[in-house]
Amino acid sequence: MTRWVLTGTDGSPRSESAVRWAAEEAVRRGTGLRILHARPWPDTAYAHGSLASDLRPAALRALAETAERVRRAHPGLLVETAVVDEDPADALLSAAKGQELLVLGSRGLGGFAGLLVGSVGLAVAARVDVPLVLVRSNGTAEPEDAGPARREIVVGVDGHHASEAVLDFAFAEAARRGARLRAVHGWDLVPAWTAAGWVPPQVNATTREATEQAALAKALAGAHAAHPDVDLVAETRLGGAAHAVVAASAGADLVVVGRRDRHHPVGIRLGSVAHAVLHHSAAPVAVVPHG
């Protein structure tokens, strides 16, 4: 076995929720599970007291207890653990190289639908070179309840520039789960601006929608042919890509979006759609990097 489902834990309820999700996914994929705990330990000057000697054994004990809970829940699943003396984002990015999948926890939906992904999750999502799943937590070790499960995967699709990697991931995940795949393409009527101000789009909405539906069907054809048993629903929604995917996420088991590798003067950054979906989706989100 050369590829693993990797997950990170810091002992918080949201990371425990991610561990549970990752273990179930490892069983579905027939891989093992690696659980990583990473933290920058106190430097030598700070560590002369008892704090440094207490931290590592406590982390090792907590990690061993987490692994044992997973083994009891999934007999036969191969589980490995590691404690790394490194910044969490850097450690996760390094450990994820060449692995099947990375799974992390994120804050659950609270009193406002925004800012749901912590700094580590965003840093990793922008740079990791394998698919990443961010799992919502409701403050306990259970994944957040986004409503009645309907055994459905949602994938956001750019009908005119679809990514094979994103579609292959979404179709394969739907096939593993025996779930319906809902492919969503959002589009907008773009207004024009003149010296006199805003001018409504001079486009027939019905004609434009037919064009977008045809583009979506064409984009999905190859991946669907490779997974003919997957129940596919293709839909276009007026209102933009991020809005369309977030609206479809309610009740889904997983939402899949792409992350194009765009190099920015200050580093790789998430695209606007992936960023919005990560913050606002009601379901776990898979971010799939692609060229």
Which residue has better confidence, 275 or 165? 165
Which is more confidently placed, 269 or 162?
162
* 121, two tokens: 């999750």
| C-alpha 81 chain-centroid distance | 22
How far is the C-alpha of 20 from the C-alpha of 69, rounded, in Å? Answer: 9
Question: DSSP of 24-90, one letter per residue?
Answer: HHHHHHT-EEEEEEE--PPPTTGGGSSHHHHHHHHHHHHHHHHHHHHHHHSTT--EEEEEE-S-HHH
Residue 95: the pLDDT is: 94
Q: What is the pLDDT of residues 225-246, one digit of tens each?
A: 999 999 999 999 988 899 999 9
Strands 101-107 and 132-137, bridge-based pairing: parallel
In the predicted model, is pLDDT for residue 116 greater than 80? Answer: no
Distance CA 166, CA 157 (A): 8
Mean pLDDT of the chain: 82
- Mean pLDDT lowest for which of 56-70, 210-224, 254-268? 254-268
Phi and psi torsions of 248, nearest 5°? -80, -10
| pLDDT given at position 220 | 96
Residues above pLDDT 90, as percent of the chain: 50
- Other residues' Cβ atoms within 10 Å of the Cβ of residue 54: 10
**Cβ 130 vs Cβ 159: under 8 Å:** no
**Residue ranges per structural domain of the chain:** 1-144, 146-285
User: Is the predicted pLDDT of residue 112 greater than 50, yes or no?
Assistant: no
**CATH code for 146-285?**
3.40.50.12370
More confident residue, 236 or 144: 236
Please state the length of the chain.
291
Q: Is the pLDDT reported for residue 75 higher than 80?
A: yes
Q: Which token pair is 80?
A: 């490995």
High-pLDDT (> 70) share of the chain, %:
77
pTM to 2 decimals?
A: 0.85
- The CATH fold assigned to 1-144 is Rossmann fold (3.40.50)
Distance CA 291, CA 287 (A): 13
Q: What is the DSSP string of 123-179?
A: HHHHH-SS-EEEEEE-SSSSBP--SS---EEEEE--TTS--HHHHHHHHHHHHHHT-
pLDDT at residue 266 tops 60: no
Cα(287)–Cα(19) distance, rounded to whole angstroms?
17
